[in-house]
Structure 1
């Protein structure tokens, strides 16, 4: 979709891709964290569920470190910037997923829930199936993953789901960006789409998402590229174009800064798992 067409069709976009209380799986892996958690900065544009089978992982949110302990299961809310660190290379199950209202926004950054019998059994089953090379997007396994995610969401206190920063203009823009992360939108374009001045738009976007528009869009592009590197044979040149980067060299620099490895090395490592 071209920029002009996107601006023309702005009025016809749905308010949300997800109906109320629905969940959509974006990514799921069971692996040792390795270098991917060694002082790496992340921005969460989705919900993130983490369970570490071993001690040694931690995340820093707002200058506060949180240990990722095997007795707990953790949810990190959308719009959260966090830093990761690890010792001992713990094994981890992680899930990225989207959720409809009222779970699409949250007042807290991270939740720690005690690992109960149901969650422990679900995690063990999910990890066993993934390690047997079953795709997390296969119908039986995806339902188990979504069941685990929904069960954890149900534990979030209602007060933490109050939409104090909700704004329909930003919500609509965010769904547009997620649908077409490759489109060449400037801050001015986004402000126009939201019927706001540049300064007003930047302040509102930061308040609603916890991120700048540039950082938010870059993260979406890199997450899409990461998925394509893992699950397709698309060339790195094609991935850079499909994800909105100027060229392969720009994409490689951004990906290495974000993930720690250049795209080619990341693809090789992910295909060996």
Structure 2
């Protein structure tokens, strides 16, 4: 068992700064904090297996797991026996982020399913690590923004309770909103039949895949109408409509008015 004695700058984030790192450790790695810390600890497991232990509770950390330890919680964590643990971590002050995004439990552990959310969390942590190392202007604010993104993604998952395959499909639609979509290709990407994906998607979101795509496009069109002087035809094309009349019909369906009427009302 190894008890790490960290430098004085690691004795809590009383100064309000974010501390972070990226570790790949053998099973000799262990940290024991009998009195806890004055700040939050968050980890994101990439590979291997780790563990967290607080009085009366223990959790394993598998790939895709996000774990948070509340300030003041006695804890021990490390690499599981016979394993390596590859993970990213950060300490951040208690007051730095919105309280409603932080768990109430002393130890929170959630496995993130779905490639899209895992990738977003990975890149948020990667940006956090880069900003923490470079420490250029507003580096701490950028680190907190990345942490905020991770916590919002977790909060959204808890609220929506989406199947990971629906979540991935939503992400794919939003990333290629301007392109024609094929349900067969979306289904193949999440390893479902087209009919099964269509049923699961509507059951989860209340809308069909096509309706969801049109809703995304019209929301984007509404923003462009409100904040730019671009022509209606240009906006229709920009959000993915090759047929102008189809754009007009869809705008009426989702906004209950014409695009020109919407622009006039908003301005």
Q: TM-score, normalised by structure 2?
A: 0.42
Q: Please give the TM-score of this superposition, normalised by the length of structure 1.
A: 0.41
Greater length-normalized contact order (CA 8 Å, ≥ 6 residues apart): 1
State which structure, 1 or 2, has the greater radius of gyration over its C-alpha atoms.
Answer: 2
